[in-house]
Chain A
Amino acid sequence: MKYAFFPGCSLESTGRPFDFSTRAVCRALEIPLGDIPDWVCCGSTPAHASSDSLAVALPALNLQKAQAAGLPVMVACASCYARLRTANHRIVGAPEDRLRAGRITGHPYDGGVEVRHVLDVLVNELGPDRIRAKVRRPLSGLRVACYYGCLLTRPPEIVAFDDPEHPSCMDELMAAAGAESVDWPFKTECCGASLSMTNSAVVSRLTHRLLCMAQEAGADCLAVACPLCQVNLDLRQADAGKAHGPLRPMPVLYVTQLLGLALGLAPEALGIDALAVSPRSLLAKCGAVAPAGAGGIA
Chain B
Amino acid sequence: MTREVPPGKEEGELTQPIPWNGGRLMEEVRQRCGARVSACFQCHKCSTGCPIGPEMDFLPSQIMRLVHLGAEKEALASRSIWLCASCEACTTRCPMAIDIAAVMDALRILAIERRIDLPDARGKQFHRSFLGSVRRHGRVYEMGMMAAYKLRIRDLLSDVDKVPQLLAQGKLSLLPNRGGDIRRVREVFRRSEEEEGKP
Interface residues of A (CB under 8 A from B): 9, 12-16, 37-41, 43-54, 57-58, 61, 65, 100, 103-106, 150-151, 154-156, 164, 188-190, 192-195, 197-200, 202, 205-206, 235, 273-274, 276
- Complex interface: chain A residues within 8 A of B89 (CB): 150, 154, 188, 190
Secondary structure call for the B interface: helix
Chain B positions within 8 Å of A, measured between CB atoms, are 1, 32-33, 51-52, 54-55, 82-83, 85-89, 91-92, 99, 104-105, 108-109, 112, 120, 122-123, 126-128, 130-131, 134, 138-140, 142, 149, 158-159, 162, 165-166, 169-173, 177, 179-181, 184-185, 187-189, 191-192, 195-196
With contacts A47-B131, A53-B195, A202-B55 taken as known, whether A9 is within 8 angstroms of B187 at the C-beta atoms is no
Point out the residues of chain A lying under 8 angstroms from B128, CB to CB: 46, 50
In the complex the two chains form, is B195's CB within 8 Å of A198's CB? no
- A147 CB, nearest partner CB in chain B, Å: 13
**Known contacts A61-B185, A106-B184; 5 further A-B pairs (Cβ under 8 A):** A54-B188, A202-B83, A235-B162, A235-B166, A273-B169
Contacts of B196 in A (CB 8 A): 51-53
A and B contact pairs by CB, cutoff 8 A, 30 listed? A9-B140, A13-B140, A14-B166, A14-B171, A16-B169, A38-B138, A38-B181, A39-B181, A45-B86, A46-B127, A48-B86, A49-B104, A49-B127, A51-B196, A52-B33, A52-B196, A53-B192, A53-B196, A58-B188, A100-B195, A104-B188, A105-B188, A106-B187, A156-B92, A188-B89, A190-B51, A197-B126, A198-B126, A200-B159, A202-B83
Task: Please name all residues of chain A whose beta carbon is closer than 8 Å to the beta carbon of B179 when the two chains form the complex.
Answer: 37-38
Measured in the bound complex, the distance between the Cα atoms of B181 and A105 in whole Å is 12
Nearest Cβ on chain B to A53's Cβ, whole angstroms: 4
Q: Which residues of B contact A276 (CB under 8 A)?
A: 165
Chain A residues, CB < 8 A from B54: 205
A286 to B173, CA, bound (A): 34
Specify the chain A residue showing the minimal Cβ separation from B149.
A197
Q: Which residues of B contact A9 (CB under 8 A)?
A: 139-140, 142
Which 10 residue pairs across A and B have the least CB separation, nearest first? Answer: A190-B87, A46-B127, A154-B88, A53-B192, A150-B87, A9-B140, A46-B130, A38-B181, A198-B122, A190-B51
CA distance A156 to B91 in the complex (A): 10
Task: Let me know if A274 and B170 touch, CB within 8 A.
Answer: yes
Contacts of B88 in A (CB 8 A): 150-151, 154-155
Chain A residues, CB < 8 A from B184 = 40, 61, 105-106
